[in-house]
Structure 1
C-alpha cells in the first residue's frame, strides 16, 4: 500500500501551531511506507509526491532513551542488534540510567535485551538456551523487520502444549523472546512443589516477590479459609502499606484545603498535593508538572478531553478513530460527542491474535480525522498496542492522539515525550494507589488552548458578574476541592513503584505471564482469548462446558479472585465470538505457586466435564 501525502488544511487541524516541532510531513509519510512495506504482503511502495530519501528510522516502543548512554557515541542507533551489542559492555552490568529529554524519571540506558551470538552471548546448543545475562528481547515489535520467536512459541503452545525448549526463529514480530527449559519453565521461575498447597516465592529480574508481598497487608487475608490469591489486578490493584499509611498520615497531620489559606496545615496539604503532581510528572516523563491534571480516574479523564478538546475542535463531518480493543470508557464519551456535534466514529480492526491492524488503521486516516484515541494495553486481552506508530501516523494526518494508559502504567515504563502523545490518562487504583483519583497528561501548549470543563473555585483568576478570567492549566481543569488525600496517596504509590523499578516489574511479570500462559493452554477444552505476540499480564479464557461465572465461583472457593464477565469491553469480546471470559490478571506480587493453584483448579474443572474437548 502507499500512504498518500496529506496536504495541510487549516480546517483539518485543531490548531494552527498544533504540530510545531514535528518532523517534516514527507519524512513521516516515508516512515509510514517503510513500516507497511515490512508487513506481510506490503511490497516496497514509494510515497506519492515524496522524493526518494534514506529510510527513516522506525519508531520503537517506550521505554526509549533520549540521549546515548555514557561512553556511547552521539548518534549511535541502538535500535539495531549489531549496533546495540557494541554498546552493551558500556552500560551493562551496572544498569546505567539516562534522564528523558525535558526531565522526568530516568529511563534505562539499555532499552533492548539481546540474547544471541550477535550480542556476544554463547549460542544455544541442543534443547538448551543459555544466554549469559538475559533471555528476553524488546526490539522490532509488531511485524517490523526481524523475527518472531514469541509469536511462534505462543502459537505453538496455544495449538499444542510442549515441554521441550524453544529456540528463537529467524523472524521476529516482536514481543519478547523467551526460552523454556526441558520442564517448560521460563528462566528464573521455579515451579512450586506439587505436594505444597501454599504459594511459593519466585524472584527474577532483581525483584524479591516475598519481600514485595510483605508490603501489601491484604495479601495475608483469607477467603473461604484459604489464602487470598488476587488475580483481579486489571480491575483494581491492592495497596502497599506505604500508601495506606500516607493517606492516614495526611488526615492525622495535614488535612486542609489547598492553595487558598496562609496557615500551616494549608501549606502542608498544598505541598503534599503538588508533590504528588511532581511524582506523576516523573512517572510519565512529562515536560513539567503544569501538564498533569488530577481527575477521578481514566474515565473522567477521557470525558474531560471529550468535553474540552472535543467540543472545541471536533464538529459536523469530522471523524474520531478508536480501536476494536477499547474499554467502554474510551468508546461511550466519543459516541456521545459524535452524536451531539454530527461527527463520525471509526474503528480500527484487529487480527485473530487481538493485535491492531496498522495497515487498516492507516486507511482510516484522512483530512477529516481530528482525534485518535486508543488503549496502550487492552484490559480484556492484554494486547500491547503499537502506540508510537499509531501516534506518528495520526500526526502525519494532522490529528491529535489520546492514549488510555489505565492498564499500562503499572506494567511498563511510559515516557509521553518519547511517544509524542498529545494526551495520556490513567487511574490511580490500577497502579497500587487509592480509588477515585487519576491523571490526565496533556501537552502544555495544547491545554492552554482548551476551555474549562467545569466552573467553580480554584480554577479562576478573577470573577465579576460580567466576566471570568480562568487560571492556566492545570488549575483551569481542577474546579472545586479535589480529592486531596487520595492524590497524596497516589503520589506515594507512584514513588513506591519507582523504587521497586518498572523495569524489574516488567521483567518479572513477563516471565510469570509466560509461565501462566503455558499452564492454562495445556488444559483440554480451554480457549485463550487474545494471543498477540506482545502482551501484558492478562489471560482471558473460556472453558468448555462452563459459564464464566461458574469458573469464577469455583476459583473463589479456593480463595482465587478473578474477573468473569465482559470487562466493560463487549465489542472486542464479540470480535472473538464470546460474550464473557474468565480473566486472571497478574501483578508483581503474584507468585508461581499462585499460578499453579489457578491452573490446577481449572484443570480439575475441565476433567470434571470428561476432560474437555478442543474446539
Structure 2
C-alpha cells in the first residue's frame, strides 16, 4: 500500500482548506486518525460503553476486555516483558510527571545530579526542574554539537557518579535529531543511574523495543500515533514500578480501605486511579493494529525517503534556514524563511491549504540556543507524499514573493 492509498484511509484528509486540497504537515503535533480508529471508538460508545473492572454484566465485561486488550497490544508493540509494566496515562506529559513525582523525588537528594539535554520538550524539562528545586539535586545538560546532535563522548563527560537520573527524548520535535538513547542508558547504568526515554516523537515512526534499549522508563502519547487524544502510556521496569508510590488516589487503584489506612492494588492498576480513559485505550489498540498492518519498517523507510526529498527541495529555496543535522534525522524539517516571521509563513501557507506548525514548539531553551524566537516546522507521516512536499515548496516561494523578497 503506497502513501496515496494510505491517505484515502484518513477521512479528514479528503477535505479542502481555503479552496485547496488539504496538505497536513503537522503530525509532530498530532497525527490524523484512520477510519478504523474512528470506527473502533464509535463502536465502543455505541455497543460496549461501561466502566471497567467493576461490573459483572456483559457490557462491563466487554469494556474490560477491550481496555485490557489494548494494554496487551501495547506491551507487545514496544516489547515490554509484561502487561504489568504498562501504565495507561493521559499522554507523555503525565507519564513523565508520574516518574518525576513518584520515583525521582524519592531517590534524589542534595547534590545529586539529574541529566537532560537542552533540546528537550518542556514536558521533559520542567518536571526535572521541579524535582531539583524540591530535593536540592543539580540539573545538568549534555551539550549540543553545532548541528544540534549530541555525542556519546559528551554524554560520558556529563553523567557522573553523582547522577541519579537521566531523561532524554528519543527524537527531537524541533531538530529531527535521533538521539543515541540506548548508548546513553548504558552509560547511566554504569554510574548507577536510571534512564527515562521520551518516546513521543519516536513511537509513531519506528520499531520500539524497550528491552533492547534497556531504558528504565519509556513514555508515549497515543495521539501522535493515529490514536485519540488523551491516552498515552508509561512503561517502567517492574521492579521499579513496584517500589514506587502512586500519586493519584481514589477508586480502582485500592486493595483495601479502612478509616485510617489503605493499601494499593498490584501493578498496573495502582497507578490508574479513577475511571480510566477507556475509549482512548480502545482507540489506541485499533491504532496499533493499523500501524502494524502498514508495518513500522515501511513507515520508517517512507519517512526517511520523504524527508531526504524534502531536504533537497527546500534547500534550494533562497534565504531559507534549516535547523538540525542533514542526515540521521526523523521526518520533520524546522526552518525559517528569511526575515518572514514563522507565524506569517504558517498563515500564508494555510491560505494554500497547507498546515504546518509555527512557534517555539514548547522548546524555548532550544530556541535561545538556535538564537531565534520561533521557527516554522513541517512534519511528515505515513500519509504524506512527494506531491505534498512539492506543494509546500511552491507555497514557500509564493510566501517569499508575497512578503517582497527576491526569488532566486
Q: Quickly name the TM-score band, shorter chain normalised.
A: over 0.9
User: 1:556 corresponds to which residue?
Assistant: 350
Equivalence map 1:123-202=2 (5 Å) = none
User: 2:17 corresponds to which residue?
Assistant: 223
| C-alpha deviation, 1:612, in angstroms | 5.9
User: 1:246 corresponds to which residue?
Assistant: 40
User: 1:286 corresponds to which residue?
Assistant: 80
Question: Per the alignment, in what secondary structure is the counterpart of residue 539 of structure 1?
Answer: strand
The structure with higher relative contact order (CA 8 Å, sep 6+) is 2
| C-alpha deviation, 1:210, in angstroms | 2.0
User: 1:465 corresponds to which residue?
Assistant: 259
User: 1:499 corresponds to which residue?
Assistant: 293
Indicate whether 1:566 and 2:355 are aligned: no
TM-score by length of 1: 0.65
Question: Per the alignment, in what secondary structure is the counterpart of residue 332 of structure 2?
Answer: coil
TM-score by length of 2: 0.98
| C-alpha deviation, 1:367, in angstroms | 1.8
User: 1:149 corresponds to which residue?
Assistant: none
User: 1:533 corresponds to which residue?
Assistant: 327
Q: Which of 249, 261, 265 does residue 455 from structure 1 map onto?
A: 249
* Paired residues of 2:89 and 2:233 also in contact (CA < 8 A): yes
Q: Which of 213, 220, 224 does residue 426 from structure 1 map onto?
A: 220
| C-alpha deviation, 1:532, in angstroms | 4.9
| C-alpha deviation, 1:542, in angstroms | 0.5
Within 1, Cα distance between the matches of 2:7 and 2:332? Answer: 20
| C-alpha deviation, 1:462, in angstroms | 0.7
Within 2, Cα distance between the matches of 1:263 and 1:605? Answer: 60
Show structure 1 runs of 4+ deviating over 4 A: none
Within 1, Cα distance between the matches of 2:58 and 2:405? Answer: 69
Within 2, Cα distance between the matches of 1:500 and 1:470? Answer: 40
| C-alpha deviation, 1:347, in angstroms | 0.8
| C-alpha deviation, 1:607, in angstroms | 4.5
Within 2, Cα distance between the matches of 1:474 and 1:312? Answer: 20
Question: Per the alignment, in what secondary structure is the counterpart of residue 370 of structure 1?
Answer: strand
Q: Which of 490, 497, 500 does residue 284 from structure 2 map onto?
A: 490
Within 2, Cα distance between the matches of 1:252 and 1:342? Answer: 51
User: 2:406 corresponds to which residue?
Assistant: 611
User: 1:517 corresponds to which residue?
Assistant: 311
Where does the alignment leave 5 or more consecutive residues of structure 1 unmatched?
A: 1-206
* Paired residues of 1:404 and 1:426 also in contact (CA < 8 A): yes
Indicate whether 1:353 and 2:165 are aligned: no
| C-alpha deviation, 1:350, in angstroms | 1.0
Indicate whether 1:445 and 2:239 are aligned: yes
Question: Per the alignment, in what secondary structure is the counterpart of residue 203 of structure 2?
Answer: coil
Within 1, Cα distance between the matches of 2:197 and 2:244? Answer: 18
| C-alpha deviation, 1:222, in angstroms | 1.1
User: 1:410 corresponds to which residue?
Assistant: 204
Cα deviation per residue 1:363-386 (whole Å; 9 max; x = unaligned)? 121222111000000011111011
Equivalence map 1:81-100=2 (5 Å) = none
User: 1:8 corresponds to which residue?
Assistant: none
Indicate whether 1:436 and 2:233 are aligned: no
| C-alpha deviation, 1:418, in angstroms | 0.5
Within 1, Cα distance between the matches of 2:89 and 2:405? Answer: 50
Where does the alignment leave 5 or more consecutive residues of structure 2 unmatched?
A: none
User: In structure 2, do the counterparts of structure 1 residues 612 and 565 end up closer, same or farther at CA, with 3 Å as the change threshold?
Assistant: farther
Cα deviation per residue 1:345-403 (whole Å; 9 max; x = unaligned)? 11111111110132222112122211100000001111101111111111101000000
Question: Per the alignment, in what secondary structure is the counterpart of residue 37 of structure 2?
Answer: helix
Question: Per the alignment, in what secondary structure is the counterpart of residue 497 of structure 1?
Answer: helix
* Paired residues of 2:4 and 2:384 also in contact (CA < 8 A): no
Cα deviation per residue 1:291-329 (whole Å; 9 max; x = unaligned)? 000000000000010111012211222111111110000
Within 1, Cα distance between the matches of 2:69 and 2:105? Answer: 32
Question: Per the alignment, in what secondary structure is the counterpart of residue 448 of structure 1?
Answer: helix
| Higher percent of residues as strand | 2
Within 2, Cα distance between the matches of 1:314 and 1:453? Answer: 17
Within 2, Cα distance between the matches of 1:496 and 1:522? Answer: 36
| Higher percent of residues as helix | 2
* Paired residues of 1:317 and 1:368 also in contact (CA < 8 A): yes
* Paired residues of 1:544 and 1:612 also in contact (CA < 8 A): no
Within 1, Cα distance between the matches of 2:164 and 2:141? Answer: 14
Equivalence map 1:590-605=2 (5 Å) = 590-605=384-399
Indicate whether 1:257 and 2:51 are aligned: yes
What number of residue pairs does the alignment pair up? 407
* Paired residues of 2:397 and 2:407 also in contact (CA < 8 A): no
* Paired residues of 1:523 and 1:606 also in contact (CA < 8 A): no
**Quick check: which has more Rg, 1 or 2?**
1
Cα deviation per residue 1:160-210 (whole Å; 9 max; x = unaligned)? xxxxxxxxxxxxxxxxxxxxxxxxxxxxxxxxxxxxxxxxxxxxxxx4112
